[in-house]
Amino acid sequence: MHIRSKLLMWTMGLAAAASLVAGGFVLQIGKPSANPEAQAKNAVLVVRGFSCAEPEKTKVTGTAEGFVNGKRESVALNLMPLTGQSTYAVAKQWPSEGRWVLAFTMTNPRMGQQSAMVKVDGGTVNWAGISRLGHAPTQEDLAAALDMPVAMNRE
């Protein structure tokens, strides 16, 4: 039993060391209520790109992708910088009518790319409607998130 405990501890230590070497690359979506600076900018959400490798080269971009009156719309989002590396406030910049998904993509030359899609209803974030991808959202990903036929997305 003593040998089994030592083996378990050694395995856990090895796993912890491997996670430290592997580093982190995470795109976080958060509530503005936790950030007074974001609240002052009337943010509906906060987005943060974290990378342990070359964090200064981490870039975050965003668009509001919508389906309004039977047509697809896209609005480039102005991400307002907040204190902290790659941390941004996002205020409502899309029309209230229609169905909308906010699509955020984080890139880093050493770590690759990640993205998140966030469903919104007007200016209200659907916190349960956040999906994460290991790539930039495709037209098919956006069509599915907007609950629209893929064929209409290609017009």
pTM exceeds 0.85 for this model: no
Structural domains present in the chain:
25-153 (2.60.40)
pLDDT the model gives residue 49: 85
Comparing 12-16, 34-38, 55-59, 103-107, which segment has the lowest mean pLDDT? 12-16
For residue range 114-136, what is the model confidence (pLDDT) as tens digits? 899 999 988 899 999 899 998 88
> Tokens 């580093």 — which residue?
23
Q: For strand 80-81 and strand 71-76, is the pairing parallel, antiparallel, or unpaired?
A: unpaired
In angstroms, rounded to a whole number, what is the distance separating the alpha carbons of residues 84 and 52?
Answer: 14
- How would you classify residue 82: left for phi > 0, otherwise alpha for psi between -120 and 50, otherwise beta? beta
> Tokens 């629209």 — which residue?
148
Both structure tokens of 93: 């910049």
